[in-house]
Amino acid sequence: MRVEPLYLSPSRIADWERCRWSYLLKYVYRWREAATGNALIFGGAIDEAVDAHLRGLLQGREVDPAEVFIAAFLQKADEGPVDYGAKWSEESMLAMGIELMKRWPDAWQAMGLTVACDATGEPLMQREVAFALPGNVIVRGRIDLGVFTREGDFAVVDSKTAAQPYPETALVLNEQLTAYQVAMDIAAEQWGLPKPERLGLIEMIKRQVPKRTGQGPTVEPLVLTARRSEQQVREYLQKILWIAEDIRAQRFTKSPRMAFESPCAMCSMARACTAGDYTDVDFSKARYVPAEALQACESPVAA
Ligand code: SF4
């Protein structure tokens, strides 16, 4: 019997591991945040700016990534309510992005990378990829960059904005990069490129722009690691299959965990999960809406 496809991605898997209940709300019930998270619009605007700058370099055109960032960020911020939290505002995020994008061209040059192009001449940037596993499990993702290093090695690179640097000790385990290696190994021949010899990470660390002195946001130096071994790939794929099995068996549990590692403080569905308060939830695309939320919508309000 053919089973329905189950679509996973490195970020969905990370969400699952953070809290299975939040996975249920987000991907099964399809609840959305009523206000978009600031990290999402900031990261999206930075991606657009970097993409435009690198495409400009390939075409011999000068593109100011700070200008592209400003336009992209303001457009995204205007699309709906944004949750800036206690730490950020539109102005402070805009200032941080401009500062990062001013630093980006020199940082890119120092990395000594060349964007790889596929057999059709199209640069390998923001490229959608997917691979299938037994049991109709489809893993989808998007490779940020395929590059050649100074030494001529082909590498797949993930580019990220983050509050703090990824721990160096965990880089050899980073599963997003493992997923991209698997996808790229499959696509390599069709795209006329080698299988990746290295995996890399470019991080932009989000910090407030200091009023006078201080570090401010930074573009960290490129970090490269060796490609994953066959054993590491096997372990990763097995893990995905076990997760798929748990999702299909509906093993959804809440994961408040211990105080020092609780995901609840950062959870946008916390009020819905803990208090049945749905004011933070957008049900417009939901597959399931709790009866009490429906009643709240239907209750007459004072004019
Ligand atoms: S509040 Fe905590 S337990 Fe509830 S969905 Fe969010 S992370 Fe999971």
Residue 234 reports pLDDT greater than 70:
yes
Q: pLDDT tens for residues 202-211?
A: 999 999 999 8
Best probe residue, ligand 1, of 271, 274, 277, 281 (max atoms within 8 Å of C-beta): 274
- Last residue within a domain, chosen from 186, 209, 228: 228
- Mean pLDDT within 25-36: 96
The verdict on residue 210 lying in a domain is: yes
Query: Are 141 and 68 members of one domain?
Result: no
Please indicate whether residue 22, judged by its CB atom, sits closer than 6 Å to ligand 1: yes
Task: Please check whether residue 141 is in contact with residue 130, taking contact to mean a CB–CB distance below 8 angstroms.
Answer: yes
- Measured by CA distance, the residue closest to atom 7 of ligand 1 is 264
Q: 141 C-alpha vs ligand 1 centroid, how far in Å?
A: 25
Q: Please identify which residue in the block is written with the tokens 């006329």.
A: 192
263 CA: nearest ligand 1 atom: 7
Alpha helices in the chain (DSSP H): 10-18, 20-23, 38-59, 65-78, 90-111, 175-191, 230-248, 270-275, 291-298
Please indicate whether residue 21, judged by its CB atom, sits closer than 6 Å to ligand 1: yes
269 CA: nearest ligand 1 atom: 6
- Mean pLDDT within 55-74: 97
Q: What are the angstrom distances between the C-alpha of 81 and each of 25, 35, 41, 282, 293?
A: 20, 5, 11, 12, 21
Tell me the C-alpha distance between 283 and 30, whole Å.
Answer: 8
Query: Are 219 and 123 members of one domain?
Result: yes
Residue 251 reports pLDDT greater than 70:
yes
- Last residue within a domain, chosen from 82, 111, 140: 111
Q: Report the percentage of the chain scoring pLDDT > 90.
A: 90
Query: Are 48 and 89 members of one domain?
Result: yes
Residue 247 reports pLDDT greater than 70:
yes
Q: pLDDT tens for residues 260-288?
A: 999 999 999 999 999 999 999 999 999 99
Q: 30 C-alpha vs ligand 1 centroid, how far in Å?
A: 15
Query: Are 211 and 181 members of one domain?
Result: yes
Query: Which pLDDT score is estimated for 292?
Result: 85
Band of residue 92 on the pLDDT scale cut at 50, 70, 90: very high
* Average pLDDT over all residues of the chain: 95
Please indicate whether residue 256, judged by its CB atom, sits closer than 6 Å to ligand 1: yes
- Mean pLDDT within 215-238: 96
Q: pLDDT tens for residues 134-158?
A: 999 999 999 999 999 999 999 999 9
The verdict on residue 118 lying in a domain is: yes
Residue 46 reports pLDDT greater than 90:
yes
Query: Are 69 and 85 members of one domain?
Result: yes
Q: 263 C-alpha vs ligand 1 centroid, how far in Å?
A: 7
Query: Which pLDDT score is estimated for 285?
Result: 95
The verdict on residue 145 lying in a domain is: yes
- Last residue within a domain, chosen from 111, 140, 160: 111
Residue 302 reports pLDDT greater than 90:
no
Domain that holds residue 153: 112-228
Residue 303 reports pLDDT greater than 60:
no
Please indicate whether residue 124, judged by its CB atom, sits closer than 6 Å to ligand 1: no
Query: Which pLDDT score is estimated for 213?
Result: 85
Query: Are 76 and 180 members of one domain?
Result: no
The verdict on residue 299 lying in a domain is: no
Query: Which pLDDT score is estimated for 214?
Result: 86
The verdict on residue 290 lying in a domain is: no
- Mean pLDDT within 45-72: 97
Query: Which pLDDT score is estimated for 54?
Result: 98
Exposure string of 226-246, with b = 16+ CB inside 10 Å and e = fewer, is: ebbeeeebeebbeebeebbee
Query: Are 120 and 188 members of one domain?
Result: yes
Please indicate whether residue 17, judged by its CB atom, sits closer than 6 Å to ligand 1: no
Query: Are 150 and 130 members of one domain?
Result: yes
Query: Are 83 and 126 members of one domain?
Result: no
Q: pLDDT tens for residues 114-133?
A: 999 999 999 999 999 999 99
Helix-then-strand count for the chain, H and E: 9, 12
The answer to whether the predicted template modeling score (pTM) of the entire model surpasses 0.85 is yes
Please indicate whether residue 109, judged by its CB atom, sits closer than 6 Å to ligand 1: no
Q: 22 C-alpha vs ligand 1 centroid, how far in Å?
A: 6
Query: Are 139 and 221 members of one domain?
Result: yes
Q: How many domains, in total, are found in the chain?
A: 2
Query: Are 105 and 128 members of one domain?
Result: no
The verdict on residue 257 lying in a domain is: no
Tell me the C-alpha distance between 297 and 281, whole Å.
Answer: 12
Query: Which pLDDT score is estimated for 39?
Result: 94
The verdict on residue 57 lying in a domain is: yes
Q: pLDDT tens for residues 162-178?
A: 999 999 888 999 999 99
Amino acid sitting at position 76: K
Query: Which pLDDT score is estimated for 243?
Result: 98
Q: 259 C-alpha vs ligand 1 centroid, how far in Å?
A: 13
The verdict on residue 291 lying in a domain is: no
Query: Are 123 and 209 members of one domain?
Result: yes
Q: 252 C-alpha vs ligand 1 centroid, how far in Å?
A: 11
In SS3 terms, 130-148 reads as EEEECCCEEEEEEEEEEEE
Please indicate whether residue 269, judged by its CB atom, sits closer than 6 Å to ligand 1: yes
Query: Which pLDDT score is estimated for 7?
Result: 98
Q: Provide CB contacts within 8 A for 63, sequence distance 6+.
A: 52, 53, 55, 56, 57
